Amino acid sequence: MTDRKDIATPTRTKEILEKYGFSFKKSLGQNFIVEPNILTKIVQAAGLDKETNVIEVGPGIGALTEHLGRAAHQVMAFEIDDRLLPVLADTLSPYDNIKIVHSDILKANLPALVAENFSDEGRLMVVANLPYYITTPIIMHFLASEVKIDGLVIMMQKEVADRITAKPGTKAYGSLSIAIQYYMTAEVAFIVPKTVFMPQPNVDSAIIRLTRRAVPAVTVQNEVHFFKLVKGAFVQRRKTLWNNLLATYGKEPAVKEALEQALQVSGIDAKRRGETLTVAEFGKLSDAIYQFLSR
């Protein structure tokens, strides 16, 4: 299986594209990796072994997919572009542990497909080179899914990776950082230069490693309310927490009083900005507001 030449070289990639007359679609964010060493590092970052099942999104011509097939137990790859189905059937023909699903990952019945295609309940990882334009919705889709994903190792625009892994008090820190860090630990595994892609994107990429926490980063009374607060705190970054709270919850006297009491109980200064609050502080404030507004 491994004696075939890697797909991820400029020569082999060009051969495959010419054979099928394939042209890149900008609307699908198609950028193919043409450096096998990067793919080896991605597999290593994911810690894949023959006990691990993998979900991939956007396999392209199968460059990363074949590396996943070599390292993991079973691989299920979602490809939305029907032009790539015959290409993948050809390039991945040596691997009987890879299944291509022609579907939009955001519309697919993930629990049913996982049950149908993975024969055991081993570790489950998402490993993918995600299209830049839809990175965040795909990550949040996996986090909200009923399927228990143990971790995600994904390539994305470096700027988005910086936002996901950002710490409080930094410019990159925001509601996306908190939404993901609530469920997962997040770290940048390594940077990927734009020169290893065909066609070459305008920016560098990063491989990010997300590992599911045994329990969320903070225990809150109501998760929906917690995320409402977090989102509201960053609506206008330059404004104080107090101004954003009024914009989120309203300015009625009873509401203002409840917000004032919640801030006092939480020990959080209303003049602070949302970007200075830790996940734990958001949790404390969320519970206090929820309690005072429920009275």
The annotated binding site for S-adenosyl-L-methionine is made up of 31, 33, 58, 79, 104, 129
Are 231 and 244 spatial neighbours (Cβ–Cβ below 8 Å)? no
Handedness of CA 109, 207, 205, 60 (dihedral sign): negative
Please report, to the nearest 10 degrees, the dihedral formed by the alpha carbons of residues 130, 51, 90, 77 taken in order. -30
The H or E element that residue 98 is part of is: strand 98-101
Annotated binding-site members = 31, 33, 58, 79, 104, 129
Tokens at 131, concatenated: 């299209």
- Residue closest to 79 by CA, chosen among 39, 25, 121, 146: 25
CB-hemisphere CA count at 13 Å for 196?
16
3-state secondary structure of 126: strand
Q: What is the β-pairing status of strands 74-78 and 98-101?
A: parallel
3-state secondary structure of 186: strand
- Using CA atoms, how far apart are residues 20 and 88, in angstroms rounded to an integer? 11
